[in-house]
Amino acid sequence: MDSEPTVTPPRHLALVGLMGAGKTAVGASVAADLGRRHVDLDRAVTQLAGRSVGVIFHESGEQAFRDLEEQALGLQMDAVDPVVLSTGGGVLGRETNRDALARGATVVWLRAAPETLAARVGDLSSRPLLADGDPVEVLRRLDIERTPAYEAAADLVVDTDGLDISTVGALVLDALPATDGAVQ
């Protein structure tokens, strides 16, 4: 019985890391350089829900947001054409999300110190997890909680402290393996 050879499609590129790491800005830059569509997962969630992230958290809670995030991630991972995906900081909290990213994406962890992240986040009203407490302390706690998942999921790590968007984008592109389909 003859079978056709299977062709591995080019992989998606997913950026992970805490809020303020630069996932959205770097993702847009890298997508433009690669000629790919850029998807911000939080925006995909808001489009799916018809409500902002803050409203989802306030009205339905974090669990409802995470359910929508999982659904939005699945939709993006099913896309035929490879995308550059800027995820939310907590996307790796669910095993289904970790599995989906491991199967279909090259995962790049944009890493930075909590002090750097706090200086970058800007308007705290759009950051439900930072609403209650000192942003640096909250980010330190999140860093401790989420680092093991980032380490386990990351194919590549790029430190972003003290770097601008274009420099981080160039580092991401330079780090990509030629075999992942990202640099065709």
Look at residue 116 and give its three-state secondary structure: helix
Looking at residue 161, its pLDDT comes to: 94
Q: Are 85 and 76 in contact (CB under 8 A)?
A: yes
Look at residue 78 and give its three-state secondary structure: coil
Looking at residue 182, its pLDDT comes to: 43
DSSP state of 88: -
Angle between helices 53-60 and 41-49 (to 10 degrees): 60
Q: What angle do CA 149, 112, 150 make, to 5 degrees?
A: 10
CB atoms within 10 A of CB 132: 7
Looking at residue 6, its pLDDT comes to: 42
Top-confidence range, 9-18, 70-79, 113-122, 137-146: 70-79
> Which region among 63-77, 83-97, 113-127, 170-184 has the lowest average model confidence (pLDDT)?
170-184
Looking at residue 124, its pLDDT comes to: 53
Looking at residue 4, its pLDDT comes to: 47
Most distant CA pair in the chain, distance: 64
